[in-house]
Structure 1
Amino acid sequence: MIEPMGAEFKLAIRVYIEDTDAGGIVYYVNYLKFMERARTEFMRQLGFGKAALGGAQERAEKTAEDSGAIFVVSDVQAKYRSPARLDDQLTVSAKLIELRKASLVFEQKIWRDEQLLCEGEVKVACANAKTLRATRVPAELYKVLSRLK
């Protein structure tokens, strides 16, 4: 459930063997994958993205993909605090902290119970799918996101 005014979107994720190294510790790059999943589900909850358009999730708004826009990560800053391990149940959060005309910035955290394992900021730029040049966030999406900020 997404709440307005900067509330965090949270996603539960289980650590599988494919997420770990030979010692059963989550490989560092997989934290970024977990963050990506949380951002994707955040957008899906808002009704944006191709997978979110079917059934009860139908919305009148166009998806970013339909408008010819794509989102690309342009900057990531991550601080690893403690390792996650095989079979851990994690909570990954995504919180929109900055909305610009052509980009979004998310604060993201990964927790195991009450222990913060990883935190970071991810800047996602909006680009034209054909030219890969920066473009405005689609108006309908911007309108919805501006209510959450």
Structure 2
Amino acid sequence: MSHVFPIRVYYEDTDMGGIVYHANYLKFIERARSDWVRGTGIDQRAMKEEDGTVFAVRRVECDYLMAARFDDQLEVQTEVQSVTGARLVLHQQVSRDGAAVFTAVVTIVCLTDTGHPVRLPANIRLLLH
């Protein structure tokens, strides 16, 4: 299951050197993950209201490979790497013209509204396998 999300680099995304500020890649991949979740049919608002659970990022391992610059057209590709009872691991890649500029492995978990970890809901695990 692969998802592609387009991103245009705006002036506000860049640093004094005119390249994408490093922390903004995390924003880019977050937007792509949110769009991917919505596209899978998972309703995060209903999860919170009905089950009292939310997704949370547990870990991000990333590599900055090349600089992206103002007005670049980027794509964020999101793929499921693994799903277990308690976590979802995604591989995300930001590319420009097919060349990777940033990669990340993101581990997602579920938390209760009090911040305690819980298993991923069974229907979500089944949906992502």
Q: Does the CA-based 8 Å contact 2:55-2:108 persist in structure 1? A: yes
- Give the deviation of 1:136 after TM superposition: 1.3
Q: Tell me the number of residue pairs that the alignment of Structure 1 and Structure 2 aligns.
A: 128
- Give the deviation of 1:24 after TM superposition: 1.6
Q: Quick one: structure 1 residues 34 and 117, their matched pair in 2 at CA, closer, same or farther if it must change by over 3 Å?
A: same
Equivalence map 1:34-113=2 (5 Å): 34-50=28-44, 63-65=46-48, 66-113=50-97
Alignment TM-score, normalising by the size of structure 1: 0.80
List gaps (5 residues or longer) in structure 1. Answer: 1-6, 52-62
Give % identity. Answer: 38
Q: Which amino acid aligns with 1:129?
A: D
Give me the whole-angstrom Cα distance separating, in 2, the residues matched to 1:78 and 1:115: 16
Q: Which amino acid aligns with 1:123?
A: T
Give me the whole-angstrom Cα distance separating, in 2, the residues matched to 1:114 and 1:9: 15
List gaps (5 residues or longer) in structure 2. Answer: none
Q: Does the CA-based 8 Å contact 2:44-2:54 persist in structure 1? A: no
- Give the deviation of 1:133 after TM superposition: 1.1
